[in-house]
Chains A and B, each alone.
Chain A
Amino acid sequence: GIQVEQSPPDLILQEGANSTLRCNFSDSVNNLQWFHQNPWGQLINLFYIPSGTKQNGRLSATTVATERYSLLYISSSQTTDSGVYFCAVYTGGGNKLTFGTGTQLKVEL
């Protein structure tokens, strides 16, 4: 099956810093989503992004499907950004989601 690798696995930032999270996938995909899992376990949809670039406030994402990677940018990080960030790709005819390995982010004061 498809492999979805994220880097870095862990990241510690000072509040106000910027960061880039990467998601590499081993095969062609129908679509891709980025999620933030908060400390209580809730998955929050960030982006639904098969290709190109999208922005939402301090977050933006870019997917280059032909090169099989996606990037999530976090600017001016805040403590509430802490948690695990997952990318997930759609396969199996566009129905199934395969999750990446995750990036654990901690933002400190």
Chain B
Amino acid sequence: GAVVSQHPSWVICKSGTSVKIECRSLDFQATTMFWYRQFPKQSLMLMATSNEGSKATYEQGVEKDKFLINHASLTLSTLTVTSAHPEDSSFYICSARRLSEQFFGPGTRLTVL
């Protein structure tokens, strides 16, 4: 139990385009999901907390207009990187909370050319 999926696994896009990443909890409902970012050889940094039916809470320094989060149902949260630029290239990982524990998706590798 406690499986989280992400789609796509990897994406390459041109500078200026928008990219949507989906995060799904497959065998449990999650009122709270989280989005993290990880640069090579570094740790995970929390970007935002996604709450079903309400606005996301963003961490300090994260541009909410650039990283749009929608938690439309108890099993789906989406992250849209708008007008992506090369500096947005990174590994994006979501997690979903079941009871008190977080379970992580496999990640999405974004490359912006």
Per the bound structure, the CA–CA distance linking A69 and B5 in Å amounts to 31
Knowing A96-B49, A97-B34, say if A42 contacts B104 (CB, 8 Å). Answer: yes
Determine whether the beta carbon of B100 is less than 8 Å from that of A100: no
> CB within 8 Å of B: which of A54-109?
86, 88, 90, 94-102
Knowing A97-B46, A99-B43, A102-B43, say if A41 contacts B91 (CB, 8 Å). Answer: yes
> How many residues of chain A get a CB closer than 8 Å to chain B's CBs?
21
Report if A33 contacts B (CB, 8 A): yes
Knowing A33-B101, A95-B32, A96-B49, say if A42 contacts B43 (CB, 8 Å). Answer: no
Determine whether the beta carbon of A95 is less than 8 Å from that of B46: no
Per the bound structure, the CA–CA distance linking A94 and B97 in Å amounts to 11
Please name all residues of chain B whose beta carbon is closer than 8 Å to the beta carbon of A86 when the two chains form the complex.
Answer: 43-44
Please name all residues of chain A whose beta carbon is closer than 8 Å to the beta carbon of B38 when the two chains form the complex.
Answer: 41
Knowing A94-B100, A97-B34, A97-B102, say if A43 contacts B93 (CB, 8 Å). Answer: yes
Report if B39 contacts A (CB, 8 A): no
Besides the contacts A41-B109, A43-B104, A96-B49, what 12 more A-B pairs have beta carbons closer than 8 Å? Answer: A31-B100, A40-B106, A41-B106, A41-B107, A43-B44, A45-B2, A45-B104, A48-B101, A94-B100, A95-B97, A97-B95, A99-B44
Chain B residues within CB distance 8 Å of chain A: 2, 32, 34, 38, 43-46, 49, 91, 93, 95, 97, 100-104, 106-107, 109
